[in-house]
C-alpha cells in the first residue's frame, strides 16, 4: 500500500510501576510480562500503525517513573508531539502525580502537545481489587485540561491500541500542514520541528514496505 508516513514522537510519563512499559510492550509486541525490569533512564521503541490513507510511525519514549528521575524527563518530552500520562486506578497517589505531570507538560512541553490521560491496571479492578481513582475524577481532569482519556489494562490489552489510535487521529491534520510547509521551504530548514517534517517528506513518496 502506498501511503504517506508521519512520525510522532510520543513520551510516557507517570509514577513508578503504574505500567508504562507494559502499555508500550502491549502496543508494540502485543505481549505482557508480569515482572518487567524497571526502566532505567528511558527506553525507546517504535511502532507503525496504518491509519487508512496514511501510516503513522510512533517513536515511543518510555521513561523511568521513580520520583528522582523526574528531573530527567524534560530530556525526553522535549519536542514530543504526544504524551501518555499514566496512573494506576488502584493507587490514588499515582493520580496526584499524573496531575503534576499534566501541569508540567502544559508549562514546559511543546505548546500543541496532545496529552492522553491513561488509567491503567483496569483488570485489577475487574478481578476484585478496590478502585481508588474514580472514573469521574479522571474525566473531570481530562475535560478541564483538554486531555484524551482512557482506562486501560496492559495485561488484558483492553483499550491500549485505542489510546494510540486516538492520538494518531488527532495528529495527522497538523502534521500534514507542517509537511507541506516543510516541502515548501525545500526542506532545508533546521529547527526543532524540521526533523520530523524532513523525514516525512523523504519517506512519503517512497513505497512503504511495512504496514501493520
Residues that bind another protein (CB under 8 A): 16-17, 34-42, 44, 46, 59, 61, 64, 66, 68-72, 74-76, 78, 100, 103-104, 107-108, 190, 192, 195, 199
Taking the least distance from each CB to another protein, the nearer of 72 and 129 is 72
User: Looking at beta carbons only, is 173 or 190 nearer to another protein?
Assistant: 190
User: Which residues, 6+ apart, have CB-to-CB distance to 46 below 8 Å?
Assistant: 28, 57, 58, 59, 60
Least spacing, CB of residue 2 vs another protein, in Å? 24
User: Minimum distance between the CB of residue 102 and another protein, rounded to whole angstroms?
Assistant: 11
Nearer to another protein, 2 or 144 (CB): 144
* Minimum separation from the CB atom of position 57 to another protein (A): 10
C-alpha closest to that of 117 among 155, 92, 143:
143
Which of residues 54 and 97 has its CB atom nearest to another protein in the complex? 97
Least distance from another protein to the Cβ atom of residue 164, Å: 16
Distance (Å, whole) CA 109 – CA 92? 25
Instruction: Tell me, rounded to whole angstroms, the distance of Cα 22 from its chain centroid.
Output: 13
Cα 44 to chain center, whole Å?
12
Dihedral, 41, 18, 106, 108 alpha carbons, nearest 10: -10
Q: How far is the CB of 194 from another protein (least distance, A)?
A: 9
Residue whose CB is less far from another protein, 62 or 151: 62
Work out the burial of residue 60: count CB atoms within 10 Å of its CB; fewer than 13 is exposed, 13-18 middle, 19 or more buried.
buried
Eight-class DSSP state of 152: -
Amino acid at each position: 500500500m502506498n501511503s504517506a508516513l508521519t512520525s510522532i514522537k510520543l513520551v510516557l510519563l507517570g509514577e513508578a510501576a503504574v505500567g508504562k512499559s507494559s502499555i508500550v510492550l502491549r502496543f508494540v509486541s502485543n505481549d505482557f510480562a508480569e515482572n518487567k525490569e524497571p526502566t532505567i533512564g528511558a527506553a525507546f521503541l517504535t511502532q507503525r500503525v496504518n491509519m487508512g490513507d496514511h501510516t503513522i510511525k510512533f517513536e515511543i519514549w518510555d521513561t523511568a517513573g521513580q520520583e528522582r528521575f523526574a528531573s530527567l524527563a524534560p530530556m525526553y518530552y522535549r519536542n514530543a508531539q504526544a504524551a501518555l500520562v499514566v496512573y494506576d486506578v488502584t493507587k490514588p497517589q499515582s493520580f496526584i502525580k499524573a496531575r503534576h505531570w499534566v501541569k508540567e507538560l502544559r508549562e514546559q512541553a511543546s505548546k500543541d502537545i496532545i496529552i492522553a490521560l491513561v488509567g491503567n491496571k483496569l483488570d485489577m479492578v475487574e478481578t476484585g481489587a478496590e478502585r481508588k481513582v474514580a472514573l469521574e475524577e479522571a474525566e473531570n481532569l481530562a475535560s478541564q485540561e483538554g486531555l484524551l482519556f482512557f482506562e486501560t489494562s496492559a495485561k488484558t490489552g483492553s483499550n491500549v491500541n485505542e489510546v494510540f489510535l486516538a492520538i494518531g487521529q488527532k495528529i495527522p491534520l497538523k502534521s500534514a500542514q507542517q509537511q507541506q510547509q516543510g516541502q515548501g521551504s525545500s526542506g532545508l530548514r533546521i529547527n526543532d520541528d524540521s526533523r520530523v517534517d524532513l523525514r516525512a517528506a523523504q519517506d512519503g513518496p517512497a513505497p512503504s514496505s511495512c504496514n501493520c
